[in-house]
Amino acid sequence: MTDAVLAEVRYLDEPWRDRDERPFIFSRETRHKNTIKHEVAINNARPLVADGSIDFDHNGFTLHAFNHQVSDWSSNEQVATTYASTIVPMLKSLTGCEDAFVMGHQVRNENPETFLGAYSRYVHCDYPLHPMRERESAVLKRYESPLADELEDREYVWYNIWAPIERIAEQNQLCVVDAASASMDDFREYHFSPKAEGGYATLPLYNPAHRFYYFNDMQTDECIVFKQYDSRSEKPMVCPHTSFFDSHKGERQGRRSVEYRALCIL
């Protein structure tokens, strides 16, 4: 395997393995209190996707072209035009799904205004790992899709689509855990806001079997598409993910990125 980077990433701390309650991680302080650093090898997935040894269906992630006309990433209206023009056609062709629906997007840069707008600094998943019918039907109803009435009988997958914007991603790049290397036994739920009503998602405890990947020096016309939930029990469920600091590179220009969250009805 070539181009592996050794880096420290934060995992949920081990005492949480046996606790019933959920931790709260919504700030730098609560992140430090509830997570612990582990050094991991993060492999460059470019050659592995190119030669087919990493497979979207089996491993849960891939690299894809990201073609868009956005000139101002601070304009929500402008970014929202890419939902239909870029994201939906891409997901349909990648997954063969019947239809795809973008729930929203988040732009991140080197000057975050909130914890949730900052680079993610711990290994996590974006959602709970069980059906959330209210959220799923809300997205379908927003798009006035007739599939909203069929949800109970349909399989579906949530994806995160991540891309550098404005310049190449040199530092604090995104890395993902191969979904096929993650064991469901290691996942725990956690709250991502100070109050339990604010919602919860999932994050893993450390497991040396986790295989980490990134795509070196991602360009602004490239994106990572990675799975965040799959209703099909026979498929790998999710790619946990985080940003990481490559100490061999040192400080570089701040990373700027966009991510979309989208639901594919199969």
Which residue of this chain has its Cβ atom nearest to Fe ion in the complex? 126
Interaction of residue 178 with Fe ion, rule CB under 5 A:
no
Smallest separation (angstroms) from Fe ion to the CB of 176: 10
Residue with smaller CB distance to Fe ion, 66 or 119: 119
What H or E segment, with its residue span, contains residue 57? Answer: helix 56-59
Smallest separation (angstroms) from Fe ion to the CB of 120: 5
Give the separation between CA 161 and CA 178, rounded to whole angstroms.
15
Interface region with Fe ion, contact rule CB under 5 A, candidates 11-19, 65-73, 123-131, 231-239: 123-131
Interaction of residue 126 with Fe ion, rule CB under 5 A:
yes
Residue with smaller CB distance to Fe ion, 174 or 265: 174
DSSP string across 111-142? S-SSTTTSPP-S-BBSS-SS--HHHHHHHHHH
Amino acid at 111: N
Residue with smaller CB distance to Fe ion, 202 or 220: 202
Q: Do 188 and 17 contact (CB within 8 A), yes or no?
A: yes
Q: How many residues bind Fe ion (CB under 5 A)?
A: 1
**Per-position x/- string for 156-175, each x denoting binding to Fe ion as judged by CB under 5 A, each - no binding:** --------------------
Phi, psi at residue 106, to the nearest 5°? Answer: -140, 130
Interaction of residue 10 with Fe ion, rule CB under 5 A:
no
Residue with smaller CB distance to Fe ion, 236 or 240: 240
* Binding to Fe ion in span 46-105, by CB under 5 A: none
Residue with smaller CB distance to Fe ion, 83 or 122: 122
Question: Which pair of structure tokens corresponds to residue 195?
Answer: 């109050």
Give the separation between CA 262 and CA 266, rounded to whole angstroms.
13
Q: Do 236 and 67 contact (CB within 8 A), yes or no?
A: no
Q: Which of 169, 74, 164, 182 lies closest to 123, judged by CA? A: 182
Where does this chain bind Fe ion (CB under 5 A)?
Answer: 126
